Structure 1
Amino acid sequence: MRNNRDRAGALVTHALLIFFALLAVAPILVIVVNSFKTTQGIFGQPFALPNADTFSLGGYERVFTRGQFVTNYGNSLIVTVGATVATLVLATLAAFALTEYKVRFAPLVGGFFVLGIMLPIRLGTVPIIKTMISWQLMDTLVALVLVYTAMSLPLAIALLMTYFKAVPGAIKEAARIDGAGELRTLSIVLPMVRPGLAAVASVTMLPIWNDLWFPLILAPSKENQTVTLGVQQFVGQFLNDYPALLGALTLGAVPLIVLFVVFSRQFIQGLSAGIGK
């Protein structure tokens, strides 16, 4: 009797999960499918697949001829990769130092980074703008990389500290006895915290690629626009061209979906392991 109840509960749970998954995916599929249609096909058969009468690539042609999506993709790639690499390097060094060296101010510094997780960086937009102007970095990709790195460091450091604390101390002591320096000891420990590094990379990349606020504030020129900002401005210019509009939305969403699909397993495993530790 209990097994039947467990099976019924599992069935209901899976049915609800499938329902909510379809509820989330269906609008995206509708946008992607309709981006390959003519305007008449979009309004006449919005939920049907493209056929010989409604299929058209005109929307994508207008997107690439009138927009700058190649440049936008390149800028987003530079900013995302640059900020992610900088975050991984700095967070790894900081987390290793905070967990390895028992100094009085280490808990205070760790609490400072936790405080940085709770305070949204957008509250400091005005000081950030003043700083970038004084450094002559306004309307540059470097400004975005610096801001995103600072935004991502608190969570990255807090997450990696849980992994470094779980590394057996005997391994590090054995490396030091053999004459390894601190950087060499860190390199020996790094493979043991690889899930944490993957989690940090995934949790850093997704918000950066999808952000609109700082590209709009710090790098608004056409030469430095990211994909998200480029899509937003394209949508404003071609509001009545529905095939081009849906094509632009698809091009803006596809990289984010690919990033999530590729790194979702590492993200979930990394965060779950970090909580367990």
Structure 2
Amino acid sequence: MKNFDEWIKNGFIQALLALNALLMLYPLFVMVLSSFKTNAEIFTSPFALPQAFSFGNLQKVWDQTNFIRYMLNSLGVTVASILLILIFGTMAAYAIARYEFKLGGTVLMFFISGMTVPLKLAIIPLFIQLETLHLVDTYAGLVLVYVAMGLPSAVFIMTGFLRTLPRELEESARIDGASELLIMLRIMLPLARPAMVIVAIQNAVPIWNDFFFPLILITSDNLKTLPQGLTVFIGEFTTDWGVMFTGLTLAALPLTLLYIVLSKQFIAGITQGAVK
């Protein structure tokens, strides 16, 4: 009887997970199918298979926009932002988690408080400040904004994970004569790799998909990121939805591949955090 109850319970959980997967994946499936359709097909049969798998929309994306330029811009901004978030976030979290000092709790609360205030509420003073520093319409200004947005959550996640690592590792390394920098780089950070992957993916998705800050801070066409650049297909009276869906499909590919490559590390970070 107990085995039967467990079977029912597991079956119910698997059914819920399958339903959730369907709800998450079906819109993506429709988006990919729509990238092969014309506007007429999208409006007449939005959920049906395309009459012909034509690559005409892909040709329009290639010919009518600087798609490669927009893709490279988004890639550069995202990679630079993630690297800076990981470097500064990990350094701050390591100091808070592994060293005891009087204001450690206050510093951690300072970073956590940054998670409660949306940066978009301060867009006017932020724009004025960046304009004063001549950082409007530059990659540097956009990257600094994203780093400021990502640091609070990065410090919060990394601090919690680093605190779970045993202190005996550090003590043994100190006895062997290792410097503090060597202990951090060679011993502690490799163990914290799953948490770093979580931080990277958690920040890469909103940065890659962000439309708001590039719209406000970037005006030059050659500096536009991918979400901003794809708006060229949105007209005042008509929108070429087939081409738009093609652009969105191509834009989703890099993050999808990133998650596939780092999925083991991502799942390991979640499960280790849950167990610990």
- TM (norm. structure 2) is 0.90
The answer to whether the 8 Å contact 1:203/1:267 transfers is no
Whether 1:98 aligns to 2:111 is no
**Separation in 1 of the partners of 2:12 and 2:149?**
40
**Which residue does 1:33 correspond to in 2?**
33
Q: Which amino acid aligns with 1:229?
A: Q
Of 252-261 and 129-138, deviating more is 252-261
The answer to whether the 8 Å contact 1:198/1:266 transfers is yes
**Separation in 1 of the partners of 2:99 and 2:27?**
50
**Which residue does 1:19 correspond to in 2?**
19
Alignment of 1:1-277 (within 5 A): 1-43=1-43, 45-51=45-51, 54-187=52-185, 188-236=187-235, 239-277=238-276
Deviation at 1:29, TM superposition (A): 1.1
Q: Which amino acid aligns with 1:175?
A: A
CA offsets 1:87-137 (integer angstroms, 9 cap, x no match): 111111111111232211111001111111222222221222122111111
Shift of the 178–14 alpha-carbon distance from structure 1 to 2, 3 Å rule, reads closer
Of 239-248 and 85-94, deviating more is 239-248
The answer to whether the 8 Å contact 2:233/2:240 transfers is no
The answer to whether the 8 Å contact 1:75/1:225 transfers is yes
Shift of the 12–178 alpha-carbon distance from structure 1 to 2, 3 Å rule, reads closer
Deviation at 1:85, TM superposition (A): 0.6
Shift of the 99–17 alpha-carbon distance from structure 1 to 2, 3 Å rule, reads closer
Q: Which runs of 5+ in 2 are unaligned?
A: none
3-state DSSP of counterpart to 2:221: coil
Of 235-244 and 85-94, deviating more is 235-244
**Separation in 2 of the partners of 1:118 and 1:92?**
20
**Separation in 2 of the partners of 1:261 and 1:237?**
38
Aligned length: 275
The answer to whether the 8 Å contact 1:60/1:243 transfers is no
How large is the Cα RMSD of the aligned pairs? 2.2
Question: Percent sequence identity over matched residues?
Answer: 39
**Separation in 1 of the partners of 2:238 and 2:263?**
33
Q: Which amino acid aligns with 1:257?
A: T
3-state DSSP of counterpart to 2:14: helix
